[in-house]
Chain A
Amino acid sequence: MKPKALLGSITGALLVGLALSALRAADQPVAAIGQPAPDFSLKDENGTSVKLADYKGKIIVLEWTNPDCPFVQRHYQWHTMTNLASEYKDKGVVWLAINSNGGDNSKADSEWARQNHLAYPVLDDSEYHVAGAYQAKSTPDMFIINKDGTLAYEGGIDNDPDGDNAHRVNYVQKALDEILAGKSVSTPVTKSYGCGVHYK
């Protein structure tokens, strides 16, 4: 390659590299299926620090939630998340709820945890850092991390945004059953539905 062309190629590559790194938030890993799930440390509704790394080697479900969202409210009336968390806790699955709404969520989260007798913490991500790393978009939005720390599922809790689907499939339950049976997740990505994940 001629020197000018080589220089041009190097410059081009550098510019593309710079542009690509600018697209990602500085120092923020972005979750992807099959890739290591981004680590985080957040405070729960009691102010206790919870780190993802505390659960290394476990299957972990992350549930993006918002007590004010009608979709979340419907699922909690139906015990969708609480039943699933309880049933799979016995099979070693860890459940963490995350609230990425702006402002001070601690009171709302405590009240929510109390009302719903939650056996899992509600983590405060009001700065939106963890939602950004996982690209969580809605509430509810669900992520499953496999025992090896890689992301195995991301998307909706189910295929039923209206709450009236006669052929409802709970994608989280389906994925958990496959992971526990040592199979690969047949539906690793679905579209989530619900309210926007971060209101200031």
Chain B
Amino acid sequence: MSVRLLIWIGLIAAVLVPQLGFAASKPELVKAQLLADTSNVKSGTPFTIGVLLTITPGWHIYWINPGDSGLATSVSFKVPKGFEAGPVRFPVPQRFDQPGNVVNFGYEEEVLLLATVTPPADLPVGQSLEFAADVKFLCCNQVCIRGSTKSRLTFETSHDAKPANEQLFQRWERQVPLPKPPEVIQSHLDLQSDGRGEIRVEWAKSPTNVQLFPGPSEALMVSEVSIKTTGNASTIRFVIHRLAGLELRQSLYPMVVGYADAEGLRRGLEMNMPVSAITPASHQ
């Protein structure tokens, strides 16, 4: 082949190749993998399903209350007919202090979002079943990008269900807030008529990094949070008000007290406040 011909081929290729879309595709910001804590499905035996989200370093996604900005991550688990999926369990989030005094709650690097699945009592053995998880998220770094993932998992039904992914599921299940986690001896919530609230926690052992994560609500605003831990007791003070003109669709308002246990693993205490006790703000 002559040199001139080669040059022409090279020039034409340089123009055509980008048009044909051979440019490298952007890596996914959030990858999803659907997993379960069992290797098979057994009639009537509940198991835990989880979507493992792996987030590109430097980026984060959001908790059910994203904080001052952001968008809650939503998960929908799709299960076969006759199966029941319980509510999604979100592990205790991290707090991100962003530029501009913006405070967000969410996850970075990795998070497993869980749910309990209850199979029907009369499943035939040897059947192949498909489960799916649809996740919608907002992923932010210096910019924010909306995204979604679809992940699938296929199982066989069997007489025996062996555990699978035990360590992974235990590690993340431990991080789901509980009304009475083992580190808490007792907890008490007080709310005054002027909106000043106080959560007092008595711990079995002095925790570290105690933080408050108010739950989601369009109509309730939490502010002026201050946290003090002395020895085995923490006092978490805040102000909570109803916002005028907005419908309150819940009878209980959850707040999570996040903390690190003796091993440094994040855990959460879930407190629930009756919304009837919450008063409007003073300017209203």
Interface residues of A (CB under 8 A from B): 32-34, 68-71, 100, 102, 128, 131-132, 135-139, 159, 161-162, 186-200
Are B281 and A189 neighbours in the complex by a CB distance under 8 Å? yes
Interface of B, secondary structure class, is loop
Interface of A: prevailing SS: loop
Q: A188-B283, A200-B99 are contacts. A195–B69 as well, Cβ < 8 Å?
A: yes
Q: Is the CB of A137 within 8 A of B69?
A: yes
Q: Which of A137, A186, A195 contacts B143 (CB 8 A)?
A: A195
Cα of A4 to Cα of B244 in the assembled complex, Å: 46
Cβ A197 vs Cβ B69 within 8 A? yes
Contact B68 A32 (CB under 8 A): no
Tally of A-B Cβ pairs under 8 angstroms: 86
Contact of B142 among A32, A138, A199 (CB under 8 A): A199
Give the Cβ gap from A191 to chain B, nearest Cβ, in Å: 6
B residues apposed to A, CB below 8 Å: 66, 68-71, 98-102, 104, 136, 138, 140, 142-146, 218, 221, 243-246, 281, 283-284
Q: Is the CB of B283 within 8 A of A193?
A: no
Instruction: Indicate which residue in B101, B144, B245, B284 contacts A70 across the interface (CB closer than 8 Å).
Output: B144
Contact A187 B244 (CB under 8 A): yes
Whether A69 and B144, one on each chain, are in contact in the complex, defined by CB atoms closer than 8 angstroms, is yes
Residues of A within 8 A of B140 (CB): 195-196
The 3 closest A-B pairs by CB, nearest first: A198-B100, A187-B245, A138-B69
Instruction: Choose from A70, A102, A139, A190 the contact partner of B218 (Cβ within 8 Å).
Output: A190
A190 → B minimal CB distance (Å): 6
Residues of A within 8 A of B245 (CB): 186-188
> By the criterion CB–CB under 8 Å, are B68 and A137 in contact?
yes
Contacts of B281 in A (CB 8 A): 189
CB distance from B84 to the nearest CB of A (A): 26
Q: Which chain B residue lies CB-closest to A159?
A: B218
Q: Which A-chain residue is minimally distant from B144 (CB atoms)?
A: A195
